[in-house]
Chains A and B, each alone.
Chain A
Amino acid sequence: MASEMVLQVENIAKSFGKLEVLKAIDLTVHRGEVVVIIGPSGSGKSTLLRLINQLEQVDSGKVTVGGQILCENDAAGKAVYADKLTLKAIQLKIGLVFQNFNLFPHFSILRNITEAPIHVLGQDEKTANSKATAILNKLGLQDKAENFPFQLSGGQQQRAAIARALALEPTMLFFDEPTSALDPELTGEVLKVIRQLAAEHMTMVVVTHEMSFARELADRIIFMDQGVIIDAGTPDQVFNSKNERTRQFLRHYSA
C-alpha cells in the first residue's frame, strides 16, 4: 500500500516486573487499512493496543501516530514520552473499543456519546447531540438514545461503545476482542458494524479470536505469540503459512 502511514511502532518492548510481555515489536498501519491481530491468550495483544492508547507505559522503542511522536528512546535506550499536549492530541486520534464495553452506567446512551465531544473537544451541546444522533442512526441504535446501558443487550452496548468512540472522529479505531464478552447470537450485529466501518475505509486494528471474520475483513493479519510477531501478511499468506506455530494456532482455532 502506498498510502499515508498513520501508525508506526518501532522496536517496542514492555515488561511487567520480570515478565517480558512484548519484545521488539514493529507494526505499521496505513490509512484505510484493517489490521487484525491474532494469537494465543497471554501473547501480548491487549498490551500492545493499551501501550499505543497510553493505558500502559512503553519501556523502550518508538511510537509515531499520524506524524506525531508519542515516545522514543533517549540515549540510554529508555522510552521518553512527548509533552502533555501532544499526548492528548495523540490520544484523541485513536479510539479504543473494549472487550467489556465500559460504558458509563450513570449516563444515558446519548450522553455516553456526547460527554467527551462536549467536555473534551468543546463542542456545543446541540452540535454534539445531532452528531451523536446521526451515529446512533447509522449503528441502528436510534431508539436507544434515552436508555441507560443496563437496559441494552450486550450487542447493543458494544455498538453504543463503538458509537462513543466514533463521536470523537478518530483517525483510527482499535478493538480489543469486541465480541468476546457476547453471547454467540449477539456477535453478528457487532461484526456487521465493524464490516460497515471497513467498507467506509475506517482505519482499524482489531484483536479477535473470530478467525473467519479475520480472514474476511483483514487487509493484513498479524500473528503474535509470547510477545513477538511470528507471522504477518495478507489473510491468504497467513492462513497458508509454512510457519509451524502459526499452523498449529490456526488448526486449534478452526476446530
Chain B
Amino acid sequence: MVTFQILPYLLEGTLKALQIFVLTLIFAVPLGIIVARLRQSTLKIIQLPIRFYLLIMRGTPLILQLIFFMYFPPFILNFPIDRFLAVILAFSLNYAAYFAEIFRGGLESIPRGQFEAGHVLGFSSGQTFTRIVLPQVIKRILPPSASEAMTLIKDTALAQIIGVAELFRAAQNSTSRLVSIEPIIAAGIIYLVLNSLVAIVFNRFEKKLSYYRH
C-alpha cells in the first residue's frame, strides 16, 4: 500500500481543493444574486453587458478561462498575478454566472402575488425581497444549487492546469512517481467523500425548509 505513504501529500491537495471550493462559493453566490437582479433590469445598458458576461462565462470552457486569467494580467496588463488568485477569480466569475441563472429561475418562479401582497402591506421593496421573496427562492433553488456545488468540487481539479497543486495534481504526480494507480483511486474516493458531505449538507437544508409548501 503506497497510499499511506503519500496520504499527507494527498490531504494537502484536498485542503487546497477545499479552499478553492469555499472561496468560490463565498464570492460566487452573492455575486450571482447581484447579477441575477441586474439581469432582470429593464434598462438595456445594464441588461446587455450582463447577458454578454453570462454568455462568455457559460459559453466557453472553464479551463480556457483559467488560462486566460493566469496569462492576461502579466502579458497584457503587465502585472503578474498569483496562480491561486487567478483560480479564485476564474472560478468565482464562472460560478457566479451559473448561480445567477439558477437564482433568476427561482426568482421568476415566485408568483407576482407575493410581491404585490408585500407592497400592499407597506413593505419596502427591499423588505419584500429579503423577508418574503428570498426565503422562498432559497427553498426552490436548493436542489439545482446542490448539483452546482457538487460540480464545483470536481471542477477544482481544473486548477492544476495553471499549476495549482490541488488534489488531482497531487494524485497524478504520485501515480507517475510511484508507478501505481493507487493514488488516483485514493483521490477518487476523496472526491466521493467530499461530495457525499456536500449532498448531506444540502439534504439537511432541504429537510429544514420542508416545514412548508408553496
Contact = CB atoms under 8 A, between A and B. Distances in A.
A150 interface: yes
A168 B135 CA distance: 23
Contacts of B119: 54-55, 91
Contacts of B212: 105-106, 148-150
A105 B116 contact: no
Interface in B159-214: 211-214
A249 interface: no
A228 B154 CA distance: 63
A242 B112 CA distance: 40
Interface in A55-98: 55, 88, 91-92, 94-96, 98
A102 interface: yes
A104 B122 contact: no
A120 B122 CA distance: 6
A224 B123 CA distance: 31
Contacts, number: 59
Interface residues of A, number: 27
B114 interface: yes
Interface string B111-138: 1011011011111000100011001100
Contacts of A100: 113
A238 to B, nearest CB: 28
A115 interface: yes
B139 interface: yes
Contacts of A106: 135-136, 139, 212
Given A105-B213, A150-B213, A164 B136 contact: no
Contacts of B214: 105, 150
A160 to B, nearest CB: 12
A51 interface: no
Interface string B129-153: 0011001100100000000000000
B131 A115 contact: yes
Contacts of B117: 98, 102-104
B123 A102 contact: no
Contacts of B114: 102, 104
A148 B123 CA distance: 21
Given A105-B136, A106-B139, 5 more contacts: A94-B120, A102-B117, A103-B117, A148-B212, A164-B121
6 contacts: A96-B120, A98-B116, A104-B114, A115-B121, A116-B123, A150-B212
Question: 10 tightest CB-CB pairs across the interface, nearest first?
Answer: A102-B113, A102-B117, A120-B122, A116-B121, A150-B213, A148-B212, A96-B120, A92-B122, A106-B135, A106-B212
